């Protein structure tokens, strides 16, 4: 393998290592996104279940439900915002991973081309070194 092909192959390997890191981070971020979205959903259910029962209710019970409703709504909004942010992060990481995969493929193709070109050059040199009567025939 020529020096240029070796360098390109090292670039490809470095890209593979980067892809592994980004992929691991993507898995963690996607899991966190799913967990946060589920929490926002659960908070929305709790808010809808916090409605006062039909009939008479005391002022203190109404005040307690209102306070709980306000806190739940604030937590739900925070969870939804975090889920949206994490969703954007997951999408960005997937785009980055796809870009890295394309780059790794390009490096692999270039390394193969370099190896093929080096092999052809070696064959040409070997062909020129053969005696004139043996050129063009298999050895």
Q: Where are the domains of the chain?
A: 3-129
Tokens for 5? 């092909």
- The helix (H) or strand (E) run that includes residue 62 is helix 59-129
Q: Which CATH number fits domain 3-129: 1.10.287, 1.10.101, 1.10.3470, 1.10.8?
A: 1.10.287
Tokens for 110? 């270039």
pLDDT score, position 106 = 94
pLDDT score, position 25 = 95
Distance, CA of 113 to CA of 5 (rounded, Å) = 8
pLDDT score, position 136 = 61
pLDDT score, position 134 = 66
What does pLDDT average to in each consecutive run of 10 residues of the chain (139 residues)?
A: 84 95 95 96 90 81 88 95 97 96 94 88 79 64
Measured CA to CA in angstroms, residue 91 lies from 53, 57, 84, 87, 95 at distances of 43, 47, 11, 6, 6
């Amino acid at each position: 393998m020529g020096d240029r092909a070796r360098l390109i192959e090292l670039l490809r390997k470095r890209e593979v290592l980067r892809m592994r890191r980004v992929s691991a981070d993507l898995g963690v971020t996607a899991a966190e996104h799913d967990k946060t979205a589920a929490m926002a959903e659960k908070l929305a259910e709790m808010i809808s279940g916090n409605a006062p029962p039909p009939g008479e209710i005391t002022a203190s019970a109404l005040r307690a439900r209102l306070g709980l409703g306000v806190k739940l709504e604030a937590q739900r909004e925070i969870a939804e915002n975090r889920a949206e942010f994490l969703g954007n992060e997951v999408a960005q990481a997937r785009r980055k991973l796809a870009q890295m995969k394309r780059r790794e493929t390009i490096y692999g193709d270039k390394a193969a081309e370099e190896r093929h070109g080096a092999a052809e050059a070696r064959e040409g040199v070997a062909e020129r070194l053969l005696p004139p009567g043996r050129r063009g025939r298999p050895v």
